[in-house]
């Protein structure tokens, strides 16, 4: 691991320490996802994911306790070199681990990316319909993300990269007031081989900003493999 990558990791840990002390009622989770990607044609690809979420800090105590598991699928169509659209479906099972409703989620997405030398910038707009047992929630999301290799001008096998994203969300439903959320997510990834990469990251979520702000911290890991 080179000096640049080490410095980035130090910044990420400082981020954790700062946000964890911001509120006494902060909860922390570990979220993991394993995803397969396959390109069926020049313009069409599909992604299949299996994920889980577990408590690691709640009620002022450390505790590793599973909260949910989920499976997901995304179909993506490239419109040109910079633009794409996608449709997704997800099933999340939370009732298996706690007294809560399961969820079926439908997603529509538009994505735009631009590349300037080593920096790649991505704009993502999503609309979601979240179907729970007793109600349906409608959510709208905008994410701005940037990623760049930490060695050289392009990413080669065995090298690391940095991804930073920030996202705003608006949720509406008949049973609750509209809710505004914000998410900040820095992460470090490594290209282990052609088509296989792993990422470690943090995510700070500020929920219900317009009502009574709730703070949650996520430790994220993900593995993606191109079939």
- DSSP letters, 43-94, are SEEEEEEEEEEEEEEETTEEEEEEEEEEEEEEEEEESSSSEEEEEEEEEEE-
For residue 221, what is the domain's CATH number?
Answer: 2.40.160
- Structural domain including 186 reads 3-190+200-226
Render pLDDT for 173-183 as a digit per residue (tens, 0 to 9): 998 899 999 99
Confirm whether pTM is higher than 0.85.
Answer: yes
User: How many structural domains compose the chain?
Assistant: 1
Please list, in sequence order, all residues whose beta carbon lies within 8 angstroms of the beta carbon of residue 98, skipping any fewer than 6 positions away: 67
Find how far residue 98's CA is from the centre of its chain. Answer: 23
Query: 221, 182, 172, 173: which is closest to 200 by C-alpha?
Result: 221
Render pLDDT for 163-202 as a digit per residue (tens, 0 to 9): 999 999 999 999 889 999 999 999 999 999 999 999 999 9
Render pLDDT for 203-219 as a digit per residue (tens, 0 to 9): 999 999 999 999 999 99
Please indicate, yes or no, if residue 185 is contained in any of the structural domains: yes
Render pLDDT for 38-95 as a digit per residue (tens, 0 to 9): 999 999 999 999 999 999 998 888 989 999 999 999 999 999 999 999 999 999 999 9
Query: 184, 187, 195: which is closest to 161 by C-alpha?
Result: 187
Please indicate, yes or no, if residue 57 is contained in any of the structural domains: yes
């Amino acid at each position: 691991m080179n000096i640049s990558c080490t410095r980035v990791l130090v910044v990420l840990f400082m981020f954790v320490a700062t946000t964890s002390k911001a509120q006494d009622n902060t909860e922390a989770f570990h979220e993991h996802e394993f995803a397969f990607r396959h390109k069926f044609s020049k313009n069409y690809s599909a992604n299949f994911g299996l994920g889980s979420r577990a408590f690691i800090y709640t009620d002022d105590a450390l505790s590793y306790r599973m909260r949910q598991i989920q499976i997901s699928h995304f179909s993506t169509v490239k419109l040109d070199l910079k633009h794409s659209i996608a449709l997704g479906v997800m099933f999340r099972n939370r009732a298996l681990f706690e007294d809560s409703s399961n969820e079926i989620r439908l997603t529509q997405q538009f994505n735009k990316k631009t590349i300037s030398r080593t920096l790649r910038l991505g704009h993502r707009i999503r609309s979601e319909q979240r179907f729970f047992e007793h109600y349906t929630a409608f959510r709208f999301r905008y994410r701005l993300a940037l990623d760049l290799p930490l060695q050289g001008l392009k990413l080669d096998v065995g090298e690391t990269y940095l991804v930073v994203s920030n996202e705003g969300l608006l949720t509406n439903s008949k049973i609750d007031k509209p809710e505004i959320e914000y998410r900040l997510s820095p992460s470090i990834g490594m290209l282990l081989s052609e088509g296989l990469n792993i990422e470690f990251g943090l995510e700070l979520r500020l929920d219900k900003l317009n009502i009574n702000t709730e703070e949650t911290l996520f430790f994220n890991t993900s593995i993606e493999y191109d079939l």
